Chain A
Amino acid sequence: MAAEHEALAIPGEEARRLAAWIADYRPIPGVPDELIGPDGAPRPHWTTLLETLAGLGQEGVEQRFAAAARRINDMGVTYRVHGETRERPWPLSRLPLVLNETEWSQIAAGVAQRAELLDQILQDVYGEGRLVAEGALPAAAVAGSPEFIRPMRGVKPVGGRWLRFYAVDIGRGPDGKWWVLGDRAQAPSGAGYAIENRLILARAFPSLYRDMKVRRLAGFFRDFRAALMSAATRSDPRICLMTPGPFSETYSEQVYLARYLGFLLVEGGDLATSEGKLHVRTVAGLKRADVLWRRVDADWLDPLEANAASRLGVPGLFDAIRQGAVAMANMPGAGLVESRALMSFLPALAQRLLGETLRLPNVATWWCGQDAERGEILRDFDNRAFAGAFGDQAEGLEGRPAIGAELDEAQRARLVRAMHTRGMDYVGQEVVKLSTTPAWDGGALTPRPFSLRIFAAATPGGWVVMPGGFCRVSGRRDARAVSMGAGAQSVDVWVIADTAVENATLLPTKNDVPVVRVPGNLPSRAADNLFWMGRYLERAEATLRVVRCLCNRMTETQSNALQGRQPIERCERLLFAWGAAAPTAATHSSATIALDAASNADIYGSARAIAAQAKGAASIVRERLSQDMWQLLVRLETRLDHGAGCATLPEPEILEIVDRALHTLAALSGLMDENFNRVSGWAFIDLGKRIERAINTCRFARQFADDDPTMETLDALLELVDTQITYRARYLAGPALAPALDMAMLDPFNPRSVAFQARRIDEHLAALPALADDGMMESQRRLAVSLRADLEAEDARRLDTGRMLFFEQRLMALANAVSERYFSYASDPAPADKRSKLA
């Protein structure tokens, strides 16, 4: 563990460096800054941090920052820009945003108050409707929001809360006080990134983090989890985090949160409703889902009652919610309170509902659906910002807020006319300028505009606020809004405690937690992807083994002697048959074929392409895999990429690539065997691996021990099934057909033989849950039992290619039966065709 303070070698130089950093740091005039207070001096709570950094020296700081960058890569923290398929590494600014306790407690109290207020507004709007009836809130300011989800009107949420997880973006106003820029109530993102930011920075500056008494985040998540547990109607509830899927912009965060909180990560297709209840499709059949923390927008939740085109939702979910069968965080329709129109009413509504003034004011807002407000706004046109009341789209605005003074005559005329016709679609606001916080840029501190997102969770004891947040700084010096992308970075938020911080982790405090050994049932989709991950990894290995065998033969065969060519041709034939080398490559040299089969990502059956598929399957179940395993999957690709782009390489170099990739595969195997809990998840990886290996071994045997084998081809077979050494120990003579076939197909002691796989497959299937407890064997088990028995009773001298093909076909049938029994979830639900005859 590194200690930052040891580096404080030359105090004089440290002080000079610090002074220079501060002197070069120039806040934007008129814009409040986090580092430099209104008096022009650095705020005291930043001192420790900056002194420590100065003590590390310029180089030391860069080193720490570089280590943090590596860790981001290793952890696989990514995000996706909308519309892009590839994930980008997470851009984390190396400096935290530092807040002191006094300031923090004001923010936290304001956020808790606001969350409570918004929840009460939602209760009323979807319930009794008194605010509207009594004129405190115009009906049009509610009905105009696309997030006013009408099917939810009159619904009583389980646990009584419309809002359970709330976020708010805040910044410092011109007077230096914090104010609210926007509310997030639909499905706020960022909390998971906040924990990841914390882990990265805390590791880069461990003792600094400890000494500065930075408040921990874990307690907040513990409270949130406990609150969700208590929201459910059953004890020991199943809590699901519902994701839009791997193409969501923040999928990596959702995976992280599910893993961190121990929730089941589900897509819409994993869920089903029946008789008004919500279920998860698992390998043991349908199991109740009690709580849904959703990251899917309301409109996409239920194709029967909301957007019929949605493939992300669950048909019947709204009805299950209506029946009180599932607690939601947040309820569909909670997004209503995000609209700007509502902001203008909040000060009055706080008085009315809570009898309090808003502790955190929002940006002053006027809803233009009222003649008086609109008139007032238009009179002061130049000094106002104009924005959509219910979203960013409105006639006369280019999909984003506009400042009056910045519009030309034509734009201004168009906007004013539109506001006269449909004023209800607009708000006027005070012009917001984001305040700034220091960022590290090119070895110096520079002020950058930021927005700070704070999170709050509803608990039985009231709202709790995460002591920290998700902060984004702009890549530019002057900005009105910050979204990720376009050079923006995220920033960890350090709330400095006045007293010692609690050492909270997610561990329960009491020692009365019941011991559970098989944690819940595996969702069918997860099982499917684990199974295929197992199959792909094994397939990649088999392909690489053939490539290695081919390269070895090429090295040994100097002459073009027929016996020497035979194994080479057969290896190539296998690679063509598997799609690992393009058929046009038949005219190419063996080395080219070998290199293609290993490294050419454009050929669908190459080891490189299969490794990508394994990683693809793994990415869907990433919350179930350890960090180590993910890193190895990434490394497998990198290792194979060493040969990419070369037309050909000498055999020894290809061999080196293949060997290194095989070592990574061996490490993955070892990790799975030693570190993966032996519950159904592991069983499906292993099932996939065993089925794939058995099929491939049958193919090896048919290719190299057909009706016309030679010593050389049999030797190649023994190499492929890794038994050359054993064979030589058992038989003194060179390879002969029956003994070689026995080793590859039937030997129960050889972990690569088909019989060995059949036994393991049967054991797995026996241990997996059955759908009915009528004592009858399910069909996949039936196939496995008879296959295993037949292989155990088989005589190697009877084995010909016909019988080997028969075993291979039975294995394929078994794979189909496994997939039908365990993976039949709504993988491909199609919306019904909607053509009707119209006059």
Chain B
Amino acid sequence: MIYDISHVTTYSYEASVGATRCAIRLTPRDCARQRVLSSRIDASPTPESARSSIDFFGNHIVETTIREPHARLRIALYARVEVDRVEPPAPCLTPAWESVSRAAAGSRTLARESPVHWLFPSRQAPLYAPATHYARESFPPGRPVLEGAEELMRRIQRDFAYDPHATHVATPLAEAFDARGGVCQDFAHIMIAGLRGLALPAAYVSGYIRTIPARGQPRLEGADASHAWVAVWCGEPFGWIHLDPTNAMYADENHIVVALGRDYADVSPIDGVIVGAGRQALDVSVDIRAVGDL
């Protein structure tokens, strides 16, 4: 499936701001199941400098500096991405979770690919004993790792309410867990915390999911949204398997990957520092269109 993505973020400031330094992580990355055919980032006002690089985890970052005073900042990503449909392995064929854990901890490299980076607590996905305890129910001794992970995913979808008002970007994991509610970001963090609590490597995946309008309804532009799910390392040769706890499904050709990190903080689309006081308002509009769709 080939998609055209546009993701437009607009900051409006009450008072004009003098300078902005941003790290932009909007450009989708290549991975086993997807190829980026083209992408570009537009910003206005035009940045004085923009430098792109690849971070430790292999994500694209564009660092920009805008010096021109401005009351409105618009950052837009336009990309065309091809996503394959990849069949997940049969869960019962994956190794026992304990041996996956041992293999990860015994890794002999610190390079990007090493599962060892995904074993430890991180800023927004800390270890949380109740989350570990919750996850453990799906991992009796000797169970194949993907069986356990798939069950955990389904339980999260069942036990946690989807509630966009329950949490915000910075809601701590414990709060969302205790409230048994949240959005995709919270579900992903909860699942990650549970898996890491059992010493299984888990990653946060940021991206998009194509929404298919109900029959007879027109497709609404800009109504699509960023999405987040989880990748679990299932040992060699299976590697990383993507699971979406919000929708209780394996990520398929409707899931477009942007970045992988230990949690949201690693892949936050725009991090930045604004010089100036006053309040700001933010508007985000995402549009995902399958090429060939109308």
Q: Does A67 contact B (CB under 8 A)?
A: no
Q: Which residues of B contact A132 (CB under 8 A)?
A: 108-110
Which of B106, B227, B268 lies in contact with A839, CB distance below 8 A? Answer: B227
Residues 159-193 of B, flagged 1 when their CB comes within 8 A of A and 0 if not, give: 00000100011100000000000011100000000
What is the CA–CA distance of A839 and B228 in the complex, to the nearest angstrom?
8
Check A832–B274 contact: CB distance below 8 A.
yes
Q: Which residues of A contact B114 (CB under 8 A)?
A: 139, 143
Q: Does A138 contact B (CB under 8 A)?
A: yes
Residues 824-839 of A, flagged 1 when their CB comes within 8 A of B and 0 if not, give: 1010111111111111
What is the interface residue range for chain B against chain A?
Answer: 35 or more
Taking the closest CB of chain B, its distance from the CB of A483, in whole angstroms, is 24
What is the CA–CA distance of A824 and B277 in the complex, to the nearest angstrom?
13
What is the CA–CA distance of A103 and B241 in the complex, to the nearest angstrom?
58
Q: Which residues of A contact B282 (CB under 8 A)?
A: 833, 835
Check A139–B108 contact: CB distance below 8 A.
yes
Taking the closest CB of chain B, its distance from the CB of A665, in whole angstroms, is 33
Taking the closest CB of chain A, its distance from the CB of B264, in whole angstroms, is 9
Check A144–B119 contact: CB distance below 8 A.
yes
Given contacts A304-B272, A834-B268, A836-B269, contact A129 B11 (CB under 8 A): no
Check B168–A830 contact: CB distance below 8 A.
no
Check A395–B129 contact: CB distance below 8 A.
yes
What is the CA–CA distance of A643 and B127 in the complex, to the nearest angstrom?
55
Which of B63, B116, B274 lies in contact with A830, CB distance below 8 A? Answer: B274
Check A315–B49 contact: CB distance below 8 A.
no
Q: Does A133 contact B (CB under 8 A)?
A: yes
Taking the closest CB of chain B, its distance from the CB of A702, in whole angstroms, is 32
Q: Which residues of B contact A833 (CB under 8 A)?
A: 11, 280, 282
Check A144–B110 contact: CB distance below 8 A.
no
CB-CB contacts below 8 Å: A415-448 with B: 421-422, 424
Q: Does B199 contact A (CB under 8 A)?
A: yes
Check A424–B119 contact: CB distance below 8 A.
yes
Q: How many residues of A contact B (CB 8 A)?
A: 45
Q: Does B21 contact A (CB under 8 A)?
A: yes
Which DSSP category, helix, strand, loop or mixed, fits chain A's interface?
loop
Given contacts A303-B273, A308-B271, contact A837 B199 (CB under 8 A): no
Which of B105, B119, B123, B273 lies in contact with A307, CB distance below 8 A? Answer: B123
Residues 315-327 of A, flagged 1 when their CB comes within 8 A of B and 0 if not, give: 1100100000000
Check B273–A832 contact: CB distance below 8 A.
yes
What is the CA–CA distance of A274 and B66 in the complex, to the nearest angstrom?
11
Q: Does A142 contact B (CB under 8 A)?
A: yes
Check B276–A830 contact: CB distance below 8 A.
yes
Check A830–B225 contact: CB distance below 8 A.
no
Check A125–B105 contact: CB distance below 8 A.
no
Taking the closest CB of chain B, its distance from the CB of A507, in whole angstroms, is 42
Given contacts A139-B107, A839-B246, contact A832 B117 (CB under 8 A): no
What is the CA–CA distance of A304 and B20 in the complex, to the nearest angstrom?
11
Which of A151, A395, A829 lies in contact with B55, CB distance below 8 A? Answer: A151
Q: Which residues of B contact A421 (CB under 8 A)?
A: 132, 197-199
Given contacts A832-B20, A839-B227, contact A275 B49 (CB under 8 A): yes
Q: Does B81 contact A (CB under 8 A)?
A: no
Known: A833-B282, A834-B169. 18 other contacts (CB 8 A): A139-B107, A151-B55, A153-B110, A304-B272, A308-B265, A390-B120, A422-B127, A424-B120, A424-B199, A824-B18, A828-B276, A828-B277, A832-B20, A834-B170, A835-B168, A836-B269, A837-B226, A837-B286
Residues of chain A whose beta carbon lies under 8 Å from any beta carbon of chain B: 125, 129, 132-133, 135, 138-140, 142-144, 148, 150-151, 153, 274-275, 303-305, 307-308, 315-316, 319, 369, 390, 395, 421-422, 424, 824, 826, 828-839
Chosen A-B contacts, 15 in total, with CB atoms closer than 8 Å, are: A125-B110, A132-B108, A135-B108, A139-B107, A139-B114, A274-B65, A303-B273, A421-B197, A421-B198, A424-B119, A828-B275, A833-B11, A835-B169, A837-B225, A838-B228
Residues of chain B whose beta carbon lies under 8 Å from any beta carbon of chain A: 9, 11, 18, 20-23, 49, 51, 55-57, 63, 65, 104-111, 114, 116-117, 119-120, 123, 127, 129, 132, 164, 168-170, 183-185, 197-199, 209, 211, 225-228, 246, 265, 268-277, 280, 282, 284, 286
